[in-house]
Homo-oligomer: A and B are copies of this chain.
């Protein structure tokens, strides 16, 4: 009999407890620990394993090194009716980013729309998490961030811009917003690192080598390779827009001036930039039908659009058209029921973390022998 794949799983409670044990003696407040755990574990329940607890070991290195300030308190340094600039005070990325999205939503409640730029931030995990905060309050959310250069420009032979992620969420009237979280590179660096950790080659078209030529060797990244922008000049351009709103306008470090959160000196702040936008739908169009009320509602219009997309004629061999985020919400439902099917590369980094810092609570996983 093949091994039951659920043996690889870890429950949300177990994974959260392990994260708590890891973060508990770093100087982070209990509230900041809860925030961090919720971002990372939620990300894993979505199946976005490149951006969940896999990063915990790296964050801890910075928390212990001082590059992330455990007592960092994000604060608004300037603001107007529909915007604010936040200095994240080198707090762990999840703390500064949830703070900033809440400010954007508060601005949107008053002004209809809110934009918040962040400086002195760090790697913030999955951008989608912050957009889901907005959607949970019937707002449209957008989140983006800059990062160290890992992506080439059309015509460059090396990395010029970060993979500069952008995510959005659109509330649908139930607990599953439409949600997309994407790198502006052809693929996220995390997917290349995951392949490298597993010793697997990657498809051509993901990265170019130091000469600017395609390669299938994921181990070249980042020292001798760079990612390729999504759709060529289009992804390159969108990355520049993100660099503008998350980096240039916020006062954060820009592109090559950002410090690597995983490879840089753990004692120095990385000074990433980020940006968050929220639209208060209800201010612009009724979200739900008032009892007996007339007119169109946002949620009905979204759901009609979703239904029309889903019911479109399918390509040969395809039996379902997915809305963005639908797979992630289904992963989450299964994860809450059956546990999170953490892939081996995540198990491996959690085991290393448990060992090097003597953190208890990681269940002994039979994973390694199954891989």
Contacts from A to B (Cβ < 8 Å): 78, 80-83, 85, 107, 110-115, 117, 140, 142, 152-158, 160-161, 168, 170, 178, 180, 182, 186, 208, 211-212, 230-231, 233-238, 240-241, 243-245, 247-249, 251, 254-256, 279, 281, 283-285, 296, 298, 301-302, 304-305, 308-309, 312-316, 318, 320-324
In the complex, are the beta carbons of A249 and B284 less than 8 A apart?
A: yes
Shortest A76–chain B CB gap in Å is 12
Q: Which residues of B contact A110 (CB under 8 A)?
A: 81
Copies of chain A in the complex: 2
Given A180-B241, A248-B302 in contact, is the A284-B156 Cβ separation under 8 Å? no
Given A112-B82, A112-B115, A304-B254 in contact, is the A249-B281 Cβ separation under 8 Å? yes
Q: Do most interface residues of chain A lie in helix, strand or loop, or is the interface mixed?
A: mixed
Given A111-B111, A230-B231, A249-B279 in contact, is the A157-B315 Cβ separation under 8 Å? yes
Given A230-B231, A249-B281, A321-B153 in contact, is the A238-B180 Cβ separation under 8 Å? yes
In the complex, are the beta carbons of B83 and A112 less than 8 A apart?
A: yes
Q: Which residues of B contact A308 (CB under 8 A)?
A: 160, 255-256
In the complex, are the beta carbons of A321 and B81 less than 8 A apart?
A: no
The residue that A80 contacts in the complex, of B112, B309, B313, with Cβ under 8 A, is B112
In the complex, are the beta carbons of B284 and A324 less than 8 A apart?
A: no
In the complex, are the beta carbons of B186 and A231 less than 8 A apart?
A: yes
State in angstroms the CA–CA spacing of A99 and B152 once bound together.
38
In the complex, are the beta carbons of B283 and A155 less than 8 A apart?
A: no
State in angstroms the CA–CA spacing of A310 and B186 once bound together.
21
State in angstroms the CA–CA spacing of A281 and B301 once bound together.
33
In the complex, are the beta carbons of B156 and A321 less than 8 A apart?
A: yes
In the complex, are the beta carbons of B283 and A178 less than 8 A apart?
A: no
